[in-house]
């Protein structure tokens, strides 16, 4: 079973001891970090953000890498999730866990509506329409001052007392792991196979009896739901929601994460996003003004990937390793 082709498709086949070691390390991490005072707390915050952004990137990759659909508007669902949590907790006093449950539901509904139109188009037009819808949503949130706070966003989202930095990290990690298992299940299921079939050859997929639009739509909704959950988690981490969450540049982050980590694997985008956040923090530590250049760095990485390693940086490593092997 372990041929090259199957490896590429049946994702998440890390060997068992390795997986256990990584999970254990991730669980222990905040306890180690918390020994280092304020710096440690800062890094707990950073790693929590990494986990959340990783979830966001993995959700996009369900449509980007596995589905072959380039969306420039995935932040829309991230934002819907974030604002759902913000509004429910701040204005309706809903407890955190219920709000976190509502976030993916709201995002899925938004994805169902937006996706219903978008999957009618392919390629370039699909990309443009996703961008248009996400900007539309951005404008609505931006303009609707009385409901969403407009440019100011929504601040001061309450946090349950028992949730310190470490326990919130662990909560996010647990949610991330559950989502990872769910996504792995989906990708390896018959549905996942159909999605990859469509990516490989959409026309032929129709001729083997796959209702292409419906499957892409369902996939779009699933991806939107996970993105919404990620948005909700980040909202609670920052304790605010802002229009930036829906901005087009937010949609770029998971694309870059996926490209850096590798689009054809499940965990790749999460690793890629973590690497990017780490780089950003390092840049910040080097010099404050370097953060201004962050987008330049991101753009340059993307340029390198596009020009020299279209399969993602992961494929570049692979290429290098192959060469040294033979």
Taking contact as CB under 8 A, which single stretch among the options 38-46, 230-238, 270-278, 292-300 is the one that binds other proteins? Answer: 292-300
Structure tokens at 266: 């499940």
The two three-digit tokens of residue 234, written as one number: 């980040």
Q: Which stretch binds other proteins (CB under 8 A): 8-16, 43-51, 166-174, 238-246?
A: 8-16
* Between 90 and 196, CB nearer to other proteins: 196
Buried b or exposed e, range 252-284, using 16+ CB within 10 angstroms:
bbbbbbbbbbbbbbbbbbbbbbbbbbeebbebe
Minimum distance from CB of 283 to other proteins (Å)?
13
Residues 192, 190: Cα–Cα separation, whole Å: 5
Looking at beta carbons only, is 83 or 133 nearer to other proteins? 133
* CA–CA separation, 248 and 255 (whole Å): 11
Rg (C-alpha) for the chain, rounded Å, is 20
Using the rule CB under 8 A, give the single segment among 1-9, 15-23, 84-92, 168-176 that binds other proteins: 1-9
Contact 58, 179 (CB under 8 A): yes
CB 85 within 8 A of CB 198: no
Q: How far are the Cα atoms of 40, 66, 96, 295 from residue 123, in angstroms, in the given order?
A: 44, 15, 38, 25
Residue 58 token pair: 């993995």
The candidate with the shortest Cα–Cα distance to 134, out of 194, 221, 72, is 72
- Of residues 176-215, those binding other proteins (CB under 8 A): 185-186, 188-194, 196-197, 200-201, 203-204, 206-212, 215
- Is residue 23 a contact point for other proteins (CB under 8 A)? no
Tell me how far CA of residue 66 lies from CA of 47, 255, 283, in angstroms. Answer: 26, 13, 32
Q: Pick one of 155, 292, 317, 321: the residue that binds other proteins (CB under 8 A).
A: 292
Which of 97, 125, 317, 321 contacts other proteins by CB under 8 A?
A: 125
Q: Which of 32, 181, 303, 320 binds other proteins (CB under 8 A)?
A: 303
SS3 158: coil
Q: Which residue(s) pair with 241 in the sheet?
A: 154
Question: Considering CB under 8 A, how many residues would be counted as binding other proteins?
Answer: 69
Q: Which two tokens stand for residue 97?
A: 């866990």
Which span (27-35, 105-113, 167-175, 291-299) binds other proteins, by CB under 8 A?
291-299
Q: How far is the CB of 271 from other proteins (least distance, A)?
A: 19
Which C-beta is closer to other proteins: that of 40 or that of 311?
311
Least distance to other proteins from the beta carbon of 205, Å? 8
Least Å from the CB of residue 236 to other proteins: 28
Collapsing DSSP states into helix, strand and coil, what is residue 240? strand
Among 29, 101, 283, 302, binds other proteins (CB under 8 A): 302
Residue number, 197 or 318, with CB nearest to other proteins: 197
Q: Where are the alpha helices (DSSP H) in 119-164?
A: 123-143, 145-148
Q: Is 121 in the site for other proteins (CB under 8 A)?
A: yes
Residue 133 binds other proteins (CB under 8 A): yes
Only one of the segments 37-45, 95-103, 130-138, 314-322 lies at the binding site for other proteins (rule: CB under 8 A); that segment is: 130-138
**How open is the CA angle 256-260-261, to the nearest 5 degrees?**
115
Q: Which residues bind other proteins (CB under 8 A)?
A: 1, 3-6, 8-10, 70, 72, 117, 120-121, 123-125, 127-129, 131-133, 135-136, 139-140, 143, 185-186, 188-194, 196-197, 200-201, 203-204, 206-212, 215, 248-249, 252, 255, 259, 292-296, 298-300, 302-303, 305-307, 310
């Amino acid at each position: 079973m372990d041929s090259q082709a199957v490896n590429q498709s049946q994702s998440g086949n890390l060997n068992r001891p390795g997986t256990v070691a990584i999970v254990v390390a991730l669980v222990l991490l905040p306890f180690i970090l918390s020994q280092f005072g304020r710096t440690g707390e800062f890094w707990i915050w950073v790693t929590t953000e990494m986990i959340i952004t990783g979830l966001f990137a993995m959700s996009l990759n369900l449509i980007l890498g596995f589905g072959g659909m380039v969306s420039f508007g995935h932040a829309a669902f991230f934002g819907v999730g974030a604002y759902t949590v913000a509004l429910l907790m701040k204005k309706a006093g809903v407890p955190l866990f219920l709000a976190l449950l509502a976030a993916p539901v709201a995002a899925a509904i938004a994805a169902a509506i937006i996706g219903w139109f978008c999957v009618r188009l392919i390629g370039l037009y699909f990309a443009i329409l996703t961008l248009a819808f996400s900007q539309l949503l951005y404008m609505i949130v931006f303009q609707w001052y009385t409901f969403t706070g407009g440019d100011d966003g929504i601040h001061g989202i309450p946090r349950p007392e028992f949730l310190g930095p470490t326990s919130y990290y662990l909560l996010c990690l647990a949610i991330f792991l559950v989502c990872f298992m769910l996504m792995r299940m989906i990708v390896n299921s018959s549905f996942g196979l159909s999605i990859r079939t469509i990516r490989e050859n959409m026309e032929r997929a129709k001729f083997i009896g796959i209702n292409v639009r419906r499957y892409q739509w369902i996939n779009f909704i699933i991806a939107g739901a996970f993105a919404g959950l990620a948005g909700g988690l980040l909202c609670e981490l920052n304790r605010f929601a802002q229009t930036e969450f829906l901005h087009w540049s937010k949609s770029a982050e998971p694309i870059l994460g996926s490209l850096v980590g590798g689009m054809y694997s499940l965990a790749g985008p999460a690793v890629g996003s973590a690497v990017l956040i780490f780089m950003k923090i390092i840049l910040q530590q080097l010099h404050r003004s370097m953060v201004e250049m962050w987008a330049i760095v991101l753009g340059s990485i993307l340029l390198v990937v596009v020009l020299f390693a279209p399969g993602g940086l992961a494929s570049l490593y692979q290429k290098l390793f192959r060469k040294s092997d033979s």
